[in-house]
A and B are shown apart, each in its own frame.
Chain A
Amino acid sequence: MAQTSEAPVMEPRCPGPQIGVQVEGAGRTFRSRRGGVVEALRGIDLRARPGEVVAVVGASGCGKSTLLELICGLQRPDAGTVRADPAVLMPQRDLLLPWASALDNAALALRASGMARAQARERARPWFQRLGLAGFEQARPAQLSGGMRQRVAFVRTLLAGKPVLALDEPFAALDAITRQETQAWLAHALAEVPRTVVLVTHDMEEAVLLADQVVVLSPRPGRVVATLPVDLPRPRRRTDPAVVALREQAMAALGAGAPGDRPPAPPARAREPRR
């Protein structure tokens, strides 16, 4: 295997001091067309230092995706401030283009900002080698397994060359075995290419395995109920007593954040009247 793959390492396009992600007291409220008001997020404080992985955990519908869109600048907060280095979104579904090869799908991140097709391919190719996807360059998404598609989507996200990655439940659609493999792969990829990561998930174990810091959100409106540092060496094993203990601690925090008289299952899409 030729080791010419070291040269085109993508460094973030904006040089200079990085700030990571700084969210202070951020709130976001939606007004539905029928006059209902939904408060998605309230008073969110979250800090990710450059190169740090922060997991945001909470039940479905607690505004996690909204938080990522705030960080990516796709939405603006109604209250508080959101400051972040340029961020790229990796959505929940892989959203690979069905007509393009895996290589072209990854290279889309480069072509989006105007790079020519041939050059974008050449920049993307070494990453397939480096992240264990060699041989899959020409496969169309339909020929790839769910886990592989997610990896290609991650390479696309990396190639955007932005210091912050906003990952929205990247493994939610995978079966349990594939999810574990892909989590291990992501841990390896992030060790290889350090980035500031905000990882949204509802899987507490995933959060503790991958993150430096776990932020637990309450059900809607999403509020931070706990911020737990994960000070454990990597690579982490899910059976490690420290990992298990931390997972339990985070689960307890999540339980405490839910209203006591309601069952833990969240009312997923209920609209809340303004009080």
Chain B
Amino acid sequence: MTRSLAFRVLAPLAILAALVGAWQLYAGSGHVDPLLLPSPAEVAEALWTDRALLWADFKVTAGEVLLGIVVAAAAGLACAVAIHLSPTLRRAVYPLLVASQTIPIPIVASLLVVWLGFDLAPKLVIIGLVSFFPIAVTTLDALAGVDPELRKLMRTLDASRLTTFRLVELPAALPGLFSGAKIAVAVAVIGAVFAEQSGSSSGLGHLVQQAVPQLLTARAYAAVLILSTFAIALFGLLSLAERLALPWAHDTRGGHAR
């Protein structure tokens, strides 16, 4: 157990170290202009010297992402529940759900800024748009995955449709909600950057946009590093929260509700 745990931690770290090492060697070899590709050491330096600037912008982006995820989770859950409870809505809304994912976000982002301004609103719309879809789909699948025999049983127990939903289907859907949220955090960070680049006066996306024309590439890479780390941390936190909130979903011998 401890051995496999150590392996699970060490193996990705070793690969990461190898990649960083290769990057350092290549950047230092003189084949590439350091203004185009800074070495990892320079990125680390920028991370330290620009820490106040990066921290201020990080707080803005992190706030947008967190709020956006909450909006997306609420919208995704509501969509999934509505579609699950009404076959008519399923036919009417499901195609629109899929269509919402074909919208080219970079283009719509700039249009939304024109419409909604430079504040939080367009960011939340974009983050919500990109991240509610995985949440809605995984939650819907979990709702639909409830054993039909269980619904039959609830009928012979005189449960109403709503009671069956509340006591059986909603709890069964929670693992799906978490799975969707884990996928959503990754795209939410990307959505936030697009939104900020389309019109914003703060946030890490804005910082990158300002840094690149000024050839502060090390600072831009530092921002990227922070964004990735943030997404990974959110993913980890969600996994932890799921284990704590839904221990039954990780039982080796699960029940039949799913």
Contacts and interface: CB of A to CB of B under 8 A. Distances in A.
Nearest to B255: A98
Given A97-B171, A99-B171, A72 B257 contact: no
B156 A97 contact: no
Contacts of B147: 93, 95
Nearest to A68: B156
B243 interface: no
A98 B257 contact: yes
A113 B251 CA distance: 29
Interface string B148-167: 01101111111100011001
A48 interface: no
Contacts of A112: 154, 157-159, 163-164, 167
Interface in B136-156: 147, 149-150, 152-156
Contacts of B258: 98
B254 to A, nearest CB: 5
B246 to A, nearest CB: 7
Given A89-B156, A99-B248, A108 B253 contact: no
Interface residues of A, number: 28
A89 B248 contact: no
Nearest to A97: B257
A140 interface: yes
B252 interface: yes
A109 interface: yes
A74 B152 contact: yes
B168 A97 contact: yes
Interface centre among A94, A97, A99 (most CB of B within 10 A): A99
A204 to B, nearest CB: 25
Interface in A140-165: 140-142, 160
B168 A74 contact: no
Nearest to B164: A112
B123 to A, nearest CB: 35
A88 interface: yes
Given A95-B147, A95-B257, A142 B252 contact: yes
Contact of B158 (A69, A97, A100, A113): A113
A124 interface: no
Interface in A96-143: 96-100, 108-109, 111-114, 140-142
A144 to B, nearest CB: 9
B256 interface: yes
Given A93-B256, A108-B167, A114-B163, A98 B251 contact: yes
Interface centre among B150, B153, B257 (most CB of A within 10 A): B153
Contacts of B255: 94-99, 141-142
Nearest to A144: B253
A73 B252 CA distance: 36
Contact of A95 (B158, B159, B249, B256): B256
Given A93-B256, A98-B248, A111 B149 contact: no
A106 to B, nearest CB: 12
Nearest to B250: A142
Interface centre among A94, A96, A98, A160 (most CB of B within 10 A): A98
Contacts of B159: 112-113
B157 A74 contact: no
Contacts of B154: 112
A102 B255 CA distance: 12
Nearest to A88: B156
A96 B147 CA distance: 11
A95 B255 CA distance: 7
24 contacts: A74-B152, A87-B156, A88-B156, A91-B152, A93-B147, A95-B149, A95-B256, A95-B257, A96-B255, A96-B257, A97-B167, A98-B254, A98-B255, A98-B258, A99-B257, A108-B157, A109-B157, A112-B154, A112-B159, A112-B164, A142-B251, A142-B254, A142-B255, A160-B156
Interface of B: 147, 149-150, 152-159, 163-164, 167-168, 171-172, 246, 248-249, 251-258
Given A74-B156, A112-B157, A114-B163, 12 more contacts: A69-B152, A72-B156, A73-B156, A89-B153, A93-B147, A94-B256, A95-B255, A95-B256, A97-B255, A98-B254, A98-B258, A112-B167
